[in-house]
């Protein structure tokens, strides 16, 4: 039974709340991605492991999605979002303590708990569709993702003020993150979403849910996961290395903050019109455009290491991610039934963030342990994009050909 009103008023209310949550709580993500590698390099003696804290954040997200999604299906989205915010505060507290005692291992434990928040934030986009009509669904996803535009500015600029507020570098960053979680979590009381199957009368499905193998045999689901995985993993691969490359080539930490801020703005600013573009031109075309823009970002990054190269490459990287990831999310939400939602969305985010974990681990190794210079390491990071873009492009083309044959 649909819970959508004819004018999508309930969905629009939820979107507004989720946009604000994305803006406030989401501010912690650019902060952690800016300082994670720099703090990791400070705490560990091996530069190859500098980005391991970021990898643990993503690994935490990957291992959380398979249990968090069914939890939300049973008890409601709000329960999962509260779990995420509390875990974010706990993770930042542990990371702050790790910095205080100069323990890399404790810092990594905190990073893992922060990944639970990252996983919960990833479901904001799905929550936006729970009460939305088919026509409003891509716009709802886009608008919620657009909330990240505020966090893109807010997070890095806040970090400029707090990263050196203590004699212990970056300690102020994690104290600020604790505050963001504790304040932002109260927004979820405003959501008007279903409470979950645990609070509803039991209704037997007339059709048995498909197994994971059957779900992955659906071309739409397979392509949505593949393109979402590649878009997010490649974005993370390059973004994780960016602060190391920027500082390593002689620019400042504030330059790194500004470049990452421009990147995150580019990730979310297009969200104001991505949903409209999907409705007008089709989801496959927008996903394909995203892959092309990601390739262009790699070419710009390989053409030089001036500050303008960093800014343009990271802006293109954000724009490509937006088209690729929102397109993949839209394709996925239209490829499963409501009673398959928990299984499909949990499986999707586990696979996507599993690959993002690998990308973030590889990022530090490629950047710091490939060749003998920052230039060679940065080049290795960007050359690594090529095979995965070809993989996603091939999968997308195959879906287009299947649809043409059906028509």
Tens-digit pLDDT string for the chain (407 aa): 334 445 688 889 999 999 999 989 999 998 998 888 889 888 987 777 877 898 899 889 889 988 998 899 889 999 999 999 999 999 999 999 999 999 999 999 999 999 999 999 988 988 888 888 878 888 888 888 778 788 878 888 898 888 888 889 899 999 999 999 999 999 999 998 877 665 454 444 455 677 778 888 888 999 999 999 999 999 989 988 888 889 888 888 788 878 988 898 898 888 888 888 998 999 999 999 999 999 999 999 999 999 999 999 999 999 999 999 989 988 998 877 777 777 888 888 888 888 888 887 888 788 878 777 888 999 999 999 999 999 999 999 998 888 777 65
- Domain boundaries defined on the chain: 9-195+210-406
Do 345 and 53 form a contact (C-beta atoms < 8 A)?
Answer: no
- In a 3-state reduction of DSSP, which class is residue 58? helix
DSSP string over 322-382: HHHHHHHHHHHHTSS-GGGHHHHHHHHHHHHHHHHHHHHHHHHHHHHHSSSSHHHHHHHHH
- Rg of the chain over Cα atoms, rounded to whole angstroms, equals 20
Q: 């608008």: which residue's tokens? A: 143
Closest CA to 92 of 139, 129, 53, 38: 53
Residue 29 has, within 13 A of its CA and on its CB side, a CA count of 30
pLDDT for res 50: 79
> In terms of C-beta density within 10 A (0-12 exposed, 13-18 middle, 19 or more buried), how is residue 298 classed?
buried
Closest CA to 14 of 126, 121, 128, 123: 128
What are the C-alpha distances in Å from 38 to residues 31, 162, 175, 195? 11, 15, 17, 41
Phi, psi of 303 (to 5 degrees): -85, -5
Contacts of 102 (CB under 8 A, 6+ apart): 43
Do 177 and 32 form a contact (C-beta atoms < 8 A)?
Answer: yes
9-195+210-406: CATH number: 1.20.1250.20
Largest CA distance in the chain: 65
pLDDT for res 117: 96
How many Å apart are CA 224 and CA 238, to the nearest integer?
22
Closest CA to 234 of 393, 36, 72: 393
Do 141 and 124 form a contact (C-beta atoms < 8 A)?
Answer: no
Predicted structure pTM score = 0.74
Q: 């390491």: which residue's tokens? A: 377
Query: 327-346: b or e for each residue (b if 16 or more CB lie within 10 Å)?
Result: bbbbbbbebbeeebbbbbbb
How many Å apart are CA 301 and CA 312, to the nearest integer?
8
What are the C-alpha distances in Å from 73 to residues 14, 99, 187, 212, 226? 17, 37, 20, 17, 24
How many Å apart are CA 317 and CA 362, to the nearest integer?
18
Rounded to the nearest angstrom, the gap between the alpha carbon of residue 309 and the centroid of all alpha carbons in its chain is 23
How many Å apart are CA 258 and CA 65, to the nearest integer?
31
Taken as a whole, the chain contains a residue count of 407
What sign does the dihedral 159-90-26-44 (CA atoms) show?
A: positive
Q: How many CB atoms lie within 10 A of CB 160?
A: 15
pLDDT for res 4: 42
How many Å apart are CA 68 and CA 54, to the nearest integer?
20
What are the C-alpha distances in Å from 231 to residues 38, 320, 327, 334, 387? 24, 7, 10, 19, 13
Closest CA to 60 of 123, 141, 137, 114: 114
How many Å apart are CA 78 and CA 403, to the nearest integer?
37
């Amino acid at each position: 039974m649909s819970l959508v009103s004819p004018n999508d008023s309930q969905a629009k209310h939820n979107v507004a709340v989720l946009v604000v949550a994305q803006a406030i709580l989401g501010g912690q993500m650019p902060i952690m991605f800016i300082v994670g590698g720099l703090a990791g390099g400070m705490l560990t003696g091996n530069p190859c492991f500098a980005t391991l804290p970021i990898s643990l954040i993503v690994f935490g997200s990957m291992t959380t999605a398979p249990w968090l999604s069914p939890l939300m299906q049973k008890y409601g989205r709000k329960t999962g979002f509260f779990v995420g915010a509390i875990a974010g505060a706990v993770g930042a507290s542990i990371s702050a303590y790790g910095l205080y005692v100069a323990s890399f291992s404790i810092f990594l434990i905190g990073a893992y708990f922060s990944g639970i928040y990252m996983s919960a934030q990833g479901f904001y986009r799905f929550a936006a569709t729970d009460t939305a009509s088919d026509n409003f669904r891509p716009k709802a996803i886009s608008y919620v993702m657009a909330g990240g535009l505020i966090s893109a500015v807010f997070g890095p600029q806040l970090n400029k003020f707090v990263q050196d507020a203590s004699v212990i570098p970056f300690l102020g960053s994690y104290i600020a993150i604790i505050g963001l979680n504790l304040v932002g979590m109260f927004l979820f009381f405003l959501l008007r979403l279903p409470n979950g199957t645990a609070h509803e009368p039991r209704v037997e499905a007339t059709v048995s849910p498909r197994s994971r193998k059957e779900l992955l045999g659906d071309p739409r689901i397979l392509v949505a996961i593949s393109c979402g995985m590649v878009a997010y993993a490649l974005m993370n691969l390059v973004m994780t290395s960016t602060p190391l490359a920027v500082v390593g080539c002689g620019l400042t930490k504030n330059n790194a903050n500004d470049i990452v801020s421009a990147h995150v703005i580019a990730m979310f600013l297009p969200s104001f019109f991505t949903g409209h573009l999907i409705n007008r031109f089709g989801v496959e075309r927008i996903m394909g455009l995203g892959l092309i823009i990601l390739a262009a970002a790699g070419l710009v990054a390989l053409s030089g290491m001036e500050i303008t190269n960093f800014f343009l490459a990271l802006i293109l990287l954000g724009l490509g991610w937006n088209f690729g990831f929102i397109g993949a999310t839209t394709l996925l939400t239209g490829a499963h039934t409501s009673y398959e939602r928990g299984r499909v969305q949990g499986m999707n985010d586990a696979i996507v963030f599993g690959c993002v974990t690998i990308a973030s681990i590889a990022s530090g190794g490629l950047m710091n342990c490939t060749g003998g210079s920052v230039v060679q390491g940065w080049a290795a990071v960007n050359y690594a994009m090529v095979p995965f873009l070809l993989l996603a492009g091939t999968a997308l083309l195959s879906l287009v050909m299947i649809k043409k044959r059906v028509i």
